[in-house]
């Protein structure tokens, strides 16, 4: 993009003006010294007339001042526009043409040396184009003004030696800048990835960040990220030849990825046309039905997670060891972040649970109840709430001790869980009172669930610390249905709670309302 400012290009390379000046200063100093030597030799040469002396003086002094201003002033600022670099190139080429036109051929060697230095400066601060312009223009000038000697091989080193040096130097600088750019960009990717991923506390956030970063980290025909799940690896991201595949699962046994995960070692295979020296491992195609010719994978080795990041190409020798190092760096950050999310999830989950029974605590249960009500409204499904309480629980504690009371509450929650679906929710409302949310169940269905819990608790066997059998506790339960009986969450809770206390007032060990209530609602 020729219209893009050099400032922007240098920023992309990661160079500041001061850093840019470091390699340019030696070139500028050498150019000025070469001009001074050229001037001294010219002025002390008796074969050069006074007119040539004046031209030589003007060229050397004027060019030295211009080069000093360019190298020591303009290069250190962000004023380096492409037009200015091209102006520098055109002015220097024009000055060299004038020098070759009016000065003796003895200056050709100096012009050749100056060409090398000018090309170096242009290559450092810009791209190949201004440097190649200087190289081609000054070379043609020297050749044209030495046409009578062009057929003499002895003159070729003098005419073309500087050209070859300049061409090699230009290419070397270009490749160095290209390599530097790649390394700087990779450092930026890793630093940005590290900064973002260390602040991610959700597993989904980490996976999304990996999905964003992996494609930008390394060009490849195919890449994927997967976590071990039992005997399989679930690929949360799989890109292959322009197409994304989601939630692909591959076997752990007998695959390259499985080898990386099981052995927790990196695997670098630059040319898959050669036989794999891995016992029991075959190349398995995932994504499109195309065979990769180069592959590399690194393990994600966390305390709580194991996985793999892999890149592949349809070309052999598409990757090098620096690519592997980049992947290893990413994998280490990913493993640490995923372990952090695991710990965070554990802490968050513990904060949502009742410490004794393991069911949801009051606050989190209420949040889940609100979410269930919103889902029920959206899907136009019923929602039932059961509030239940252990009868005479204080007497249990006073008679048999608090450990026996804790055992009753724990056994009650286990019994409740055995009679509800995985999608249903149990919470400790407070003390010996519990609540059950049944999404998709009407009052009659909730009545049957409550009855099964009632019957199971009646035959529950509990022993005290002295191994004496404790009488099975009874339950009082109240049921309410959303939205037919209460169209707001707190009204639903209040209705179920009032019915619970009605059951207690009627003698406990009851379910309120009776089944007939729900049959009437269906009519």
* C-beta separation of 516 from 444 below 8 A: no
Domain final position from 183, 212, 240? 183
| 371 and 339 housed in the same domain | no
State the Cα–Cα distance between residues 91 and 118, nearest whole angstrom.
Answer: 11
In a domain? residue 188: no
Residues 209 and 179 in one domain: no
- Per-residue pLDDT at 477: 97
Within a domain: residue 354?
A: no
Q: Indicate the range of 111-120, 281-290, 392-401 predicted with least confidence.
A: 281-290
pLDDT digits (tens, 9 = 90+) for 146-166: 777 666 665 666 667 888 888
Specify the pLDDT at position 150: 64
* pLDDT-derived band at 1, boundaries 50, 70, 90: very low
The verdict on 223 and 162 lying in the same domain is: no
Tell me, yes or no, whether 353 lies in a domain.
Answer: no
- Three-class SS state of 59: helix
Q: Residue 8: is its pLDDT beyond 50?
A: no
- What's the domain range around 77? 6-183
Asked, for residue 258, whether it belongs to a domain, the answer is: yes
* 24 plus 160 within the same structural domain: yes
Shared domain check, 512 and 402: yes
Number of helices followed by number of strands (H, E) in the chain: 16, 14
Could you please report the per-residue DSSP string of 72-102? Answer: HTGGGSS---HHHHHHHHHHHHHHHHHHHHH
- Domain of 330, CATH number, reads 3.30.450.40
Give pLDDT, residue 432. 93
The answer to which of 354-358, 432-436, 448-452, 464-468 has the lowest mean pLDDT is 464-468
Residue 89 β-bridge partners: none
Residues 297 and 429 in one domain: no
Specify the pLDDT at position 385: 96
Residues 151 and 266 in one domain: no
* Each residue's pLDDT tens digit, 52-106: 889 889 999 999 998 888 877 777 664 556 778 888 889 989 988 988 888 888 7
Most confident of the ranges 43-47, 374-378, 471-475:
374-378
Above pLDDT 90, what percent of the chain? 29
Confidence (pLDDT) at 13: 44
pLDDT at 4 over 70: no
**Domain boundary at 183, 211, 226, which?**
183
Is residue 221 in some structural domain? yes
pLDDT number for residue 523: 54
| CATH number of residue 408's parent domain | 3.30.70.270
Do the strands 248-251 and 294-301 form a parallel or antiparallel pair, or are they unpaired? unpaired
| Chain mean position to CA 188 | 12
* Gyration radius from the chain CA atoms: 41
Of 482 and 347, the one with more pLDDT:
482
Whole-angstrom Cα distance, residue 165 to residue 210?
45
| CB-based contact 113:128 (threshold 8 Å) | no
The pTM of this model reads 0.55
Among candidate residues 131, 150, 183, the one where a domain is terminated: 183
In a domain, 238, yes or no: yes
Number of structural domains found in the chain: 3
| Number of C-beta neighbours around residue 260 at 10 A | 26
Whether 114 and 215 map to the same domain: the answer is no
Do residues 206 and 337 lie in contact, with contact meaning Cβ atoms separated by under 8 Å? Answer: yes
176-220 pLDDT, tens per residue?
888 777 777 777 777 777 777 776 667 777 777 777 777 777 888
Q: Name, in order, each residue with C-beta under 8 angstroms of 119's C-beta and a sequence gap of 6 or more.
A: 131, 134, 135, 166, 169, 170
Does 154 share its domain with 240? no
Contact present, 359 and 352 (Cβ < 8 Å): no
Q: Is position 196 within any domain? A: no
Q: What is the pLDDT of residue 465?
A: 62
- In terms of domains, do 320 and 368 share one? no
pLDDT level of residue 428 (50, 70, 90 thresholds) = very high
Q: Do 378 and 329 belong to one domain?
A: no
The pLDDT tens digits of the residues spanning 264-301 come to 999 998 888 887 777 767 666 677 778 888 999 999 88
Pair (375, 442) in one structural domain: yes
The answer to whether residue 50 scores a pLDDT higher than 50 is yes
Q: Is residue 463 part of a domain?
A: yes
């Amino acid at each position: 993009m020729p219209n893009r400012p050099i400032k922007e290009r240098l920023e992309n390379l990661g160079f500041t003006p001061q850093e840019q000046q470091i390699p340019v200063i030696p070139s500028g100093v050498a150019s000025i010294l070469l001009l001074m030597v050229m001037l001294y030799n010219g002025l002390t040469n008796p074969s050069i007339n006074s007119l040539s002396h004046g031209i030589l003086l003007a060229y050397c002094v004027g060019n030295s001042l211009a080069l000093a201003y360019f190298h020591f002033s303009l290069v250190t600022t962000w004023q380096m526009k492409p037009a200015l670099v091209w102006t520098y190139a055109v002015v220097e080429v024009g000055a060299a043409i004038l020098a070759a036109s009016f000065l003796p051929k003895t200056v050709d060697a100096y012009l050749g040396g100056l060409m090398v230095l000018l090309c170096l400066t242009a290559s450092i601060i810009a791209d190949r184009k201004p440097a190649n312009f200087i190289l081609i223009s000054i070379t043609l000038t020297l050749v044209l003004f030495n046409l009578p000697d062009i057929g003499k091989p002895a003159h070729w080193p003098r005419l073309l030696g500087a050209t070859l040096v300049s061409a090699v130097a230009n290419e070397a600088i270009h490749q160095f800048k290209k390599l530097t750019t790649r390394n700087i960009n990779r450092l930026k990717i890793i630093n940005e990835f590290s900064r973002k991923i260390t602040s991610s506390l959700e597993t989904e956030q980490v996976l999304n960040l990996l999905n964003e970063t992996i494609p930008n980290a390394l060009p490849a025909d195919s890449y994927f990220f997967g976590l071990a799940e039992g005997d399989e690896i679930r690929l949360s991201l799989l890109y292959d030849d322009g197409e994304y595949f989601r939630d692909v699962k591959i076997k752990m046994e007998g695959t390259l990825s499985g080898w990386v995960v099981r052995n927790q070692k990196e695997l670098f295979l630059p040319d898959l046309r050669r036989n794999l020296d891995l016992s029991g491992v075959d190349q398995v195609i995932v994504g499109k039905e195309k065979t990769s010719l180069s592959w590399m994978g690194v393990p994600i080795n966390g305390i709580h997670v194991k996985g793999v990041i892999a890149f592949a190409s349809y070309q052999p020798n598409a990757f090098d060891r620096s690519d592997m190092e980049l992947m290893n760096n990413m994998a280490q950050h990913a493993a640490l972040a995923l372990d952090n999310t695991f710990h965070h999830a554990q802490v968050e989950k513990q904060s949502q649970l009742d410490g004794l029974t393991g069911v949801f605590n009051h606050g989190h249960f209420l949040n889940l109840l609100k979410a269930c009500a919103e889902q029920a409204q959206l899907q136009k499904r019923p929602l039932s709430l059961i509030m239940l309480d252990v009868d005479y629980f204080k007497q249990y504690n006073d008679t048999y001790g608090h450990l026996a009371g804790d055992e009753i509450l724990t056994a009650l929650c286990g019994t409740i869980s055995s009679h509800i679906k995985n999608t249903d929710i149990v919470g400790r409302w407070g003390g010996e009172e519990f609540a059950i949310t049944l999404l998709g169940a009407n009052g009659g269905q909730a009545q049957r669930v409550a009855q099964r819990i009632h019957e199971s608790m009646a035959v529950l066997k509990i022993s005290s610390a002295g191994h004496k059998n404790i009488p099975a506790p009874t339950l009082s339960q109240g049921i309410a249905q959303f939205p037919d009986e209460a169209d707001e969450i707190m009204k639903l809770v209040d209705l179920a709670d009032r019915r619970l206390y009605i059951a207690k007032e009627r003698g406990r060990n009851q379910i309120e309302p009776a089944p007939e209530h729900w049959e009437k609602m269906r009519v």
